């Protein structure tokens, strides 16, 4: 019904415009859209095209495959995407439920909770980095004072360092996704829950039969969007571990930059091209969802 209403409105509008000259309106619209098209051509289309051209040689991919760091990076990226994002989204779903409770202190907490997202990455991630310093960091000092033994050298163990990078990523972006899922929860009509309570439904049943069915699409969309964003998350890894120890904690986002800094632009682009099979299905799916 809404669609037909819009249709008629559009048709009505068209006839009005036709009287005033359609071409004039189109001319104006071209003028208005021109700045964005210029930016798109100059800073997206040309750079991307040029880079694909730089990455055209098959030799580059042979070289890339021969680099042991590359394989490790691909595995790290997978682990990062699968583990960090699912843990983060599950936490966000859980906490969005927590933040629906109306208590004065929950409101205060909600305001503070957004801080990691509202403040820039670099000082906070470097702060975490120093907390993890094996000699002077507050964490190992605490461990020493409690157990009289030295704590682990956190960032010197690749598995531990990657885990900590994932935790930093979760710390930084959890508030954003929690807020979005909270907005989703608040859009569910309250009467549904009241009716369920009257029927004697417990917390789990209310979640299973009311909350989840209303939220599942939003949840999946958020997860996919978060994956796309996370593939491009440079800060969580670079600022915490710098890709170390021994370049074992790189993800695709930091590897491209590493090659670039080593002046191997071809390899940098080739590594990004290799990420496309991972990204494109996600992008295709998101485009279908969003460009309706």
Phi, psi of 12 (to 5 degrees): -60, -45
Binding mask 206-235 for another protein (x = CB under 8 A): -----------xx--xx--x--xx-xxxxx
Question: For the chain, first and last CA: distance in Å?
Answer: 17
Nearer to another protein, 44 or 65 (CB): 44
In this complex, which beta carbon is closest to another protein, that of residue 161 or of residue 272?
272
116 makes contact with another protein (CB under 8 A): yes
How big, in percent rounded to 5, are the helix, strand and coil portions of the chain?
Answer: 80, 0, 20
Of 7, 18, 30, 246, the one binding another protein by CB under 8 A: 30
Q: Residue 242: which region, alpha, beta or left (left: phi > 0; alpha: psi -120 to 50)?
A: left
Q: Does 180 bind another protein (CB under 8 A)?
A: yes
Residues 233-262 that bind another protein (CB under 8 A): 233-235, 238-239, 242, 252-254, 256-257, 260
Sequence-separated (6 or more) residues with CB below 8 Å from residue 144: 150, 151
Show the site string, 32-71: x = touches another protein by CB under 8 A, - = not: xx-xxx-xx-xxx-xxx-xx--x-----------------
List 1, 3, 111, 198, residue binding another protein (CB under 8 A) = 111
* 90 touches another protein by CB under 8 A: no
Q: Closer to another protein at the Cβ: 158 or 242?
A: 242
Q: Which of 141, 153, 156, 214 binds another protein (CB under 8 A)?
A: 141
Give the integer Cα–Cα distance in Å for 155 and 139. Answer: 13
Q: Does 82 bind another protein (CB under 8 A)?
A: no
Closest Cα to residue 125, out of 256, 238, 258? 238
Site for another protein contains 196 (CB under 8 A): no
Instruction: Say if CB 150 and CB 140 are below 8 A apart.
Output: yes
**Nearest residue (CB) to another protein, 3 versus 31:** 31
Q: What is the DSSP-derived secondary structure letter of residue 154? A: G
CB contact at 8 A, 54 and 264: no
Separation CA 183–CA 68 (nearest Å)? 44
Site map (CB under 8 A) of another protein, residues 119-138, x = contact: xxxxxxxxxx-xx----xxx
Please, what is the minimum distance in Å from the beta carbon of residue 216 to another protein? 13
Q: Which of 171, 188, 196, 210 binds another protein (CB under 8 A)?
A: 171
> Which positions ≥6 away from 213 have C-beta within 8 Å?
none
């Amino acid at each position: 019904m809404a669609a037909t209403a819009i249709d008629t409105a559009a048709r009505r509008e068209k006839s009005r415009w036709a009287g005033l000259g359609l071409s004039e309106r189109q001319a104006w619209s071209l003028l208005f859209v021109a700045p964005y098209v210029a930016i798109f051509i100059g800073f997206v289309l040309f750079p991307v095209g040029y880079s694909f051209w730089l990455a055209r040689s098959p030799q580059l991919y042979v070289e890339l495959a021969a680099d042991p760091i590359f394989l490790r990076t691909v595995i790290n990226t997978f682990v990062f995407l699968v583990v960090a994002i699912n843990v983060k989204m599950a936490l966000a779903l859980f906490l969005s439920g927590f933040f629906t409770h109306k208590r004065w202190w929950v409101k205060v907490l909600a305001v503070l909770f957004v801080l990691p997202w509202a403040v820039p990455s670099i000082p906070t991630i470097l702060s975490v980095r120093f907390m993890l310093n094996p000699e002077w960091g507050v964490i190992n000092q605490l461990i020493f004072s409690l157990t009289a033994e030295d704590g682990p050298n956190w960032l010197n163990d690749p598995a531990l360092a990657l885990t900590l990078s994932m935790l930093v990523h979760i710390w930084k972006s959890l508030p954003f996704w929690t807020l979005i899922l909270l907005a989703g929860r608040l859009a569910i009509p309250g009467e549904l829950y009241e009716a369920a309570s009257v029927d004697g439904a417990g917390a789990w049943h209310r979640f299973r039969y009311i909350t989840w069915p209303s939220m599942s699409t939003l949840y999946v969309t958020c997860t996919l969007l978060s994956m796309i964003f996370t593939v491009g998350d440079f800060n969580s890894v670079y600022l915490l571990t710098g890709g170390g120890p021994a370049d074992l904690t790189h993800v695709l986002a930091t590897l491209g930059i590493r090659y670039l800094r080593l002046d191997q632009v071809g390899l940098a682009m080739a590594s990004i091209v290799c990420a496309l099979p991972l990204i494109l299905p996600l992008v295709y799916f998101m485009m279908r969802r969003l460009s309706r």
